[in-house]
Chains A and B, each alone.
Chain A
Amino acid sequence: KAGVTQTPRYLIKTRGQQVTLSCSPISGHRSVSWYQQTPGQGLQFLFEYFSETQRNKGNFPGRFSGRQFSNSRSEMNVSTLELGDSALYLCASSLRAGGYEAFFGQGTRLTVV
């Protein structure tokens, strides 16, 4: 059974640009959550999608958005990038909504210069 796949693995962007990250969950999983990981703040919840609907959102500005498609694949978008957005962005998939037994991908390492 394939795990969670995130693309791309690495990304370098310039301040002010926007970026889209992609996540393919484990087959059969309908919940996809996104997390930001930084050395200072640790792992922080961004948002969760379940059956193409955003179920909940963490404490991040509106520049961070996402969506989920009918095949459960999800994308996350960050607009008007800031230096502080440099982080490892992790996607996790679960069978059920609510973050239970979330399985993580390898992450996308975003560097904003």
Chain B
Amino acid sequence: GQQLNQSPQSMFIQEGEDVSMNCTSSSIFNTWLWYKQEPGEGPVLLIALYKAGELTSNGRLTAQFGITRKDSFLNISASIPSDVGIYFCAGASGGGADGLTFGKGTHLIIQP
């Protein structure tokens, strides 16, 4: 089946720093989504990307759909304490036959 490699697994940063994480796939995806999950909650959709090369922002978050359609990255600028959580990338292929394929997540920890 399809697999997504998400890196890094965890990040320890200082408040105010910028963050970058990415996902790569062995297969082409038509949609890339980025989610954030906090303890005891379900994943919350942050950004959805639909076209190769697309760059989309949501406040301090920016995500891009790679030109090859096999990768995506998420940047967070000027991190704040409430950014703490696990960030997941997810991809869907044409028709969504396999639902969403998720990466293993990037655990973001912010040190004050």
Binding site for B on A (CB under 8 A): 4, 6, 33, 35, 42-48, 55-56, 58-59, 90, 92, 97-107
Task: Tell me which residues from 67 to 103 in chain B have a Cβ below 8 Å from any Cβ of chain A.
Answer: 88, 90, 92, 95-103
Whether the Cβ atoms of A104 and B42 lie closer than 8 Å is yes
**Interface residue stretch chosen among B15-23, B43-51, B54-62:** B43-51
Q: How far is the CA of A6 from the CA of B43 in the complex (A)?
A: 13
Q: DSSP class of A's interface residues: helix, strand, loop or mixed?
A: strand
For A45, give its contact among B41, B88, B99, B105 (CB under 8 Å).
B99
- Seed contacts A6-B42, A97-B96, A99-B92; 18 additional CB < 8 Å A-B pairs: A33-B99, A35-B100, A42-B102, A42-B105, A43-B88, A43-B100, A55-B96, A56-B99, A58-B98, A92-B100, A98-B97, A100-B92, A100-B96, A102-B45, A104-B42, A104-B44, A106-B40, A106-B41
Looking at the assembled complex, report how far the CB atom of B27 sits from the nearest CB atom of chain A, in whole angstroms.
14
- The closest CB in chain A to the CB of B93 belongs to A98
Binding site for A on B (CB under 8 A): 1, 31, 33, 35, 40-45, 48, 88, 90, 92, 95-105
For A90, give its contact among B31, B43, B103 (CB under 8 Å).
B43
Whether the Cβ atoms of A102 and B42 lie closer than 8 Å is no
Q: How far is the CA of A59 from the CA of B103 in the complex (A)?
A: 17
Whether the Cβ atoms of B98 and A56 lie closer than 8 Å is yes
For A58, give its contact among B41, B92, B99 (CB under 8 Å).
B99
Looking at the assembled complex, report how far the CB atom of A3 sits from the nearest CB atom of chain B, in whole angstroms.
9
Q: How far is the CA of A35 from the CA of B102 in the complex (A)?
A: 10
Whether the Cβ atoms of A43 and B92 lie closer than 8 Å is no
Looking at the assembled complex, report how far the CB atom of A68 sits from the nearest CB atom of chain B, in whole angstroms.
15
Known contacts A42-B105, A104-B43, A106-B42; decide if A48 and B33 are in contact (CB<8 Å).
no
Looking at the assembled complex, report how far the CB atom of B98 sits from the nearest CB atom of chain A, in whole angstroms.
6
What are the 9 tightest A-B residue pairs by CB atom distance, in nearest-first order? A98-B96, A45-B99, A104-B42, A43-B102, A99-B100, A99-B96, A99-B92, A42-B104, A104-B43
